[in-house]
Amino acid sequence: MNPKFPENFLWGGALAANQVEGAWNADGKGMSVADVAMYRSKVSVDDYKGHLEISKALIENAMQDDDIKKYPKRRGVNFYEYYKEDLALFAEMGFKVLRISIAWTRLFPTGEETEPNVAGVKYYRDLLTEMKRLHIEPIVTLSHYEMPLALSMKYNGWVARKVMDHFVRFCKVCFNAYKDLVKYWLTFNEIDSIDRHPFITAGIIPELCDGGNEEQAIYQALHHQFVASALVTKDCHEMIPGSQVGCMLTKLTTYPNTCNPLDVEATLKKNLHNYFYADVQIFGEYPVMIEKWFERKGIQIVMAPEDKAILKENTVDYLSFSYYMSLTESVDPELEKASGNTIMGVKNPYLPSSEWGWQIDPLGIKISLIELYDRYKKPMIIVENGVGAKDVVEADGSIHDPYRIKYFSAHFKQMKAAIDEGVELFGYTSWGPIDIISAGTSQMSKRYGFIYVDQDDDGDGTLKRSRKDSFYWYKKVIESNGADLD
């Protein structure tokens, strides 16, 4: 078999505006839900129930609090000013592609303006133009955990159908402004995460939910996101001929903890629920089993008469997903739990764990690819994958991270094995290629990058960028198109 990946395979990295840019109130930008995310040194089991200590009063206090140490996403790693330097480093590695997101509040500070903020439109124009100059293909995420805070406070986020109109307007501005620079688009980052952290994903505040029924609010908001995604997909295809619009799934690969049929059934249902979010955007309809689940839960989705047709007629072109770890499922409530990407599961005794308790499973990425391609038969790209770790800067300034190289090498080999078995995988973007603020804990010490950023959890440091050993290793992987993985 050919040791290389397919010709023109898109190697690169992935970033989110709210975790890298900083400049949270510069040049007319408004506050987003990310700007009230507080620093936490760890994530507890209770945090994964989705509330993350969110309340209207807490948000109002955060809006008045200017202590930047409490809210690290406000400072990011100053990609807003450093983007040319950072893009040059990505180009040095040989990046073919870079996934970014556009902060809605840079263009529409409250989300309700009728005309965009000129400075915000110009910033992303400059960023994308520099990427084009460096021959780095952009993949642009339109909503990546950074919706306008004003829409959350006023409407309880995506629970209100009115928010759809504001989002569609924002997206049309993006398509019109950057149609000559962007071919690949993603609508919502990890849209399935809405039932794990509804505030971060959809601006939902529990106390603002009618009758306190947060679960009803979550799935009503999700429906609005589904319809908005379909409308935006239609607009993109019409406004940018040849454009490609994808959906994104958090691939929460889950195995039965035992061969007990009860564990197998619980796992089946958990995986089917995970697939549901991509099913709607790829097949254009709600799965029957999810509709029955809604009935049992007493969840009633209010739909406009045209919604089903909109979903059916405007499906996505490709599937993207994040993969960090696998989990197991059991009906035994006493088994030890393990953390993961915005979720908890039963610990797998056959797998090692990262410093943050995420279980490392390279074979799981192959299993995920085969499962997804068999189900959807759509071109795929992995848009998040990586391992968070604490890095040490040596006296001579070097950063040795063999653990990161080991992680990526093992996963890349399994990706190639899936391709050899027939999976249509056209690209891969690591999370994140430069050290950034953690999505879940807002830590800086949980580092993912090939590039070290001199900043600690309190925001102290010079922001100097330094190449880690993995920087040179990934450069060789890209140069050899995956043939050099050892």
Q: Which residue has the tokens 């040049």?
A: 27
Residue 423 · residue 369 · CB < 8 Å: yes
Token duo for residue 404: 């990161």
Residue 230 · residue 317 · CB < 8 Å: no
The full DSSP string for 19-34 is HH---TTGGGPPPBGG
Of 446, 443, 444, residue with least CA distance to 355: 446
Of 226, 216, 235, 111, residue with least CA distance to 166: 111
Compute the radius of gyration of the chain from its Cα atoms. Answer: 21
Token duo for residue 442: 């807002």
What are the residues facing 338 on neighbouring strands? 345
Of 279, 14, 223, 35, residue with least CA distance to 145: 35
What is the torsional sign of CA 299, 252, 310, 236? positive
Rounded to the nearest 10 degrees, the angle between the axes of helix 79-93 and helix 118-133 is 20
Residues annotated as catalytic (active site), given as ranges: 190, 384
Q: Which residue has the tokens 């019409």?
A: 238
